[in-house]
Amino acid sequence: MPLNFRLFEQKDTEFWEAFVTTANNGTIFHERKFINYHPPGRFVDHSLIIEKNGKPLAVFPAAEIVRDKKRWLISHPGASYGSFVYPLDLSFSDSYELVAGLKHYANSQKFDAIRLTLPPAIYQQRVSNYIDFALVKHGFEYAKRDVSSMLTIEATPDENLAKFRSTHRTAVRKAIRQGVEIRQSDDYVAFYDILKHNLKIRHGVTPTHTLNELIQLKDMYPDKISLHAAFHDGTMVAGVVNFVVNPQVVLAFYISHDEEYQHLRAVNLLFFEIIKWSHAQGTKYLDFGIFTVDMEPNFGLGRFKENFGASGVFRDTFQCVL
């Protein structure tokens, strides 16, 4: 019996959220709550529920966009990750059918192409590359393979500290000696000023979210989104906005510091404290985010993250022209 692909409806919201929460690879980026925070009209939602023998097998958060006069099914343009969200025991055969079924569905709906970004493997409770294989087998190609820096949370924070480069361990001690204090903060206005200025002078870009959007997300996820900040004499000098993406992973979504206080080495101490916090949360990995953009590496940023003991995992984007 072929799989049944049907459009998500508002009445499915409670089911969807519960499915993502218990899935093998679900993240907050897959939740309706996260998808729906975007302003009305920004995306044309085309999320799917896939059923087998009348029972849910997977969900596929997606939207439709027009690019170069072609109609694309994209999962999901408003989130860092998309693709299929599936249960722990998804079989190889079902993975194969999901991808084949998606192509058939997209063709039937007159789409010209499909594009999706998989969460890195560390986001899975049970690591599986079944979907990756099925995508390649069914004619999907790598649109890009970016590299995200991930840090394994060791048995104790001191074990993580021992894996810092010696210069970074020294920097942690220097920050403590100079009176840098780390604490969670709700002063997103102060952090956003640092972030906006830093991104402008370093990369000539603006943050992904507006200040209001970031505050809205924090209010939506008070237990999953937090700002860890470094202070010196009462002034915020650096900060990291962390997303507890799922029980496996904390994602350092925004990292920034005030260049005037670079000598304090606040970021080094900040990340050591975040590692301690992640350890207390019981998470397995700290994801520092990508240091490649469209496969162009920022070697300096990559080295900076390696100095904390991080290594690289793929964040793969696949696409298929139908």
- Residue-wise pLDDT tens digits, 73-112: 998 887 888 999 999 999 999 999 999 999 999 999 999 9
Contacts (Cβ under 8 Å, ≥6 apart) of 65: 43, 44, 71, 72, 74, 77
Residue 300 has pLDDT above 60, yes or no: yes
Task: Count the Cβ atoms, other than its own, within 10 Å of residue 284.
Answer: 16
pLDDT above 70 (res 233) = yes
HEC profile for the chain? CCCEEEECCHHHHHHHHHHHHHCCCCCHHHCHHHHCCCCCCCCEECCEEEEECCEEEEEECCEEEEECCEEEEEECCCCCCCCCECCCCCCHHHHHHHHHHHHHHHHHCCCCEEEEECCCHHHCCCCCCHHHHHHHHCCCEEEEEEEEEEEECCCCHHHHHHCCCHHHHHHHHHHHHCCCEEEEECCHHHHHHHHHHHHHHHHCCCCCCCHHHHHHHHHHCCCCEEEEEEEECCEEEEEEEEEEEECCEEEEEEEEECHHHHHHCHHHHHHHHHHHHHHHHCCCEEEEEECEECCEECHHHHHHHHCCCCEEEEEEEEEEEC
Whether the per-residue pLDDT at 129 is higher than 90: the answer is yes
Assigned fold of 154-283: Aminopeptidase (3.40.630)
- Average pLDDT value for residue range 205-213: 83
What confidence category does residue 217 fall into, taking pLDDT thresholds of 50, 70 and 90?
very high
Mean pLDDT of 262-273: 94
Give the torsion sign (CA, 230, 235, 237, 243): positive
Q: What is the pLDDT of residues 268-279, one digit of tens each?
A: 999 999 999 999
pLDDT of residue 204: 63
CA distance 180 to 291: 27
Q: Which amino acid belongs to residue 59?
A: V
Tell me whether the omega of the peptide bond preceding residue 203 falls within 30 degrees of 0, making it cis: no
Instruction: Give mean pLDDT, residues 21-50.
Output: 91
The yes-or-no verdict on residue 200 having pLDDT over 70 is no
What kind of fold does domain 4-145+317-321 have according to CATH?
Aminopeptidase (3.40.630)
For residue 185, the tally of other CB atoms under 10 A from its CB is 16
Comparing C-alpha atoms, which of 49, 43, 16, 51 is closest to residue 30? 16
Mean pLDDT of 7-29: 96
Q: Which of 185, 198, 180 is nearest to 263 (CA)?
A: 180
**Model's pTM, two decimal places?**
0.91
The residues, any chain, with a CB within 8 Å of residue 244's CB and separated by 6 or more, are 28, 223, 224, 225, 226, 250, 281, 283
According to the model, what pLDDT value does residue 202 have? 63
Q: What is the pLDDT of residue 301?
A: 87
Please check whether the two domains, 4-145+317-321 and 154-283, share a CATH topology. Answer: yes
- pLDDT band with cut points at 50, 70 and 90 for residue 317: very high
All structural domains of the chain with their residue ranges: 4-145+317-321, 154-283
Question: What pLDDT score was predicted for residue 196?
Answer: 87
Q: What angle do CA 164, 169, 172 make, to 5 degrees?
A: 125
Average pLDDT, the chain: 93
pLDDT for position 79: 86
Q: How many residues does the chain have?
A: 322
What pLDDT score was predicted for residue 315?
Answer: 94
